[in-house]
Amino acid sequence: MTRQFFGTDGIRGRVGEYPITPEFILKLGWAAGKVLTQGAGGKVVIGKDTRISGYMFESALEAGLSAAGADILLLGPMPTPAIAYLTRTLHADAGIVISASHNPYHDNGIKFFSANGAKLPDAVELAIEAAHAEAMTMASPDALGKASRVVDAGGRYIEFCKSSFPNALDLKGLHLVVDCANGATYHVAPDVFRELGAKVTTLGDQPDGLNINVDCGSTHPQALQAKVLELGADLGIALDGDGDRVLMVDHRGELVDGDELLYIIASTRHRQQPLPGVVGTLMSNLGMELALREAGMDFFRAKVGDRYVMESLGQRGWSLGGESSGHLICLDCTTTGDGIISALQVLRALIEQGKSLHELKSGMRKLPQCLVNVRLSSRLELGNEKAIQAAVAEAEKTLGSRGRVLLRPSGTEPLIRVMVEGEDADQVAGLAEQIAHVVRERCQLA
């Protein structure tokens, strides 16, 4: 069966437009309560980021869960990975996150975690959708769920993050600029780094419900880059709105993306104890793959999306993977992508090797990558287009073993994404445009 509402990362959309409406979310809470807690006695935690609509959807979920007979633990504004952790440590049946991650404030969404802090499998999401289609009933008045607030949620999560950093090390002597994206990490991330000994300057830590991800955070790191240079800081840390992604800025103001951060963590760990391999995605830079293989590690490309990275890690029994966007997964530390914990693993590498972030990222040479989006006026089946396949084959022949071509339909827009990587930037751009031209021609003929 095909999921109707759930995408690759929960349910997401513009507030007020179906399905991101109070009515839908109320019934979603009821359906989730039925499926995830099996009735009376169940317990679900709810956390959210800082966007203004979170209050409305928190109340709607609370009402729906209570009607299903499930008790509710309210965490307030907390990072997505914190909800995963607190779902486990509070022995809840499930966790719910109200967030649209790196999207602007007028979007929102709902994500679920299982009792063990992992994303739900497709079968469970389908079961929730099936329950949502049923007529809504209510538990008897004496069996309705109760709601309570977890007042020490932030402190619990701060201690958990710190526990992922070796006791023998600290961050004394480091000046960090931490950009919280006016999102869910604003009241926890600075404390984690300060309590480990760093001097911390904060950006994006004044949320007002409307300014989440606005000119700040991992989607807009320019202010962080400028502040690192202005203060002469050692590095900058850019989190996203719900705290599951991280990018960094070195002391020269240069952005360090998820591929480079993943390489730093993997190569440092591999020196201490050999790693069998690392999972990236179809969009991971070829330079990272080459550097990891040269260091003796295997590399596997999953489909784009953290759920597919997680699936591939589980299938191979590996612990480390991630995306260029900064969604990094360290399964030896936690169960899901966590921006703060991932940043701590990079800082650990800096300290253990006695090198700067700039020096560590230089071990990997990112290859030039060109992405051209071709908007479609009609449906195009890439597998049936011989002219496009021939153009791709010709480009691959030109690039040889030091280059890569990827054509990928967008999952949200009528686009074909043409991506070419190689060692020569001009060649890469030329080949990408050549393939894009053939795609446009075939689209006009279709």
**Residues that are catalytic:** 101
Residues ≥6 apart with Cβ < 8 Å to 110: 10, 11, 12, 25, 28, 57, 61, 96, 97, 98
User: Letter for the amino acid at 33?
Assistant: G
CA separation (Å) from 294 to 63, 140, 267, 277, 358? Answer: 55, 63, 11, 12, 20
DSSP 400: G
Q: In angstroms, how far is CA 74 from the centroid of its own chain?
A: 23
Return the HEC string of 29-52: HHHHHHHHHCCCCCEEEEEECCCC
What's the burial of 353, exposed, middle or buried (CB within 10 Å: 0-12/13-18/19+)? middle
Polymer length of the chain? 446
Q: At what angle do helices 122-132 and 22-37 cross, to 10 degrees?
A: 120
Q: Could you count the other beta carbons within 10 Å of the beta carbon of residue 39? A: 12
User: Letter for the amino acid at 273?
Assistant: Q
* Terminal alpha carbon distance of the chain: 29
- Cα separation, 237 vs 255, in Å, equals 10
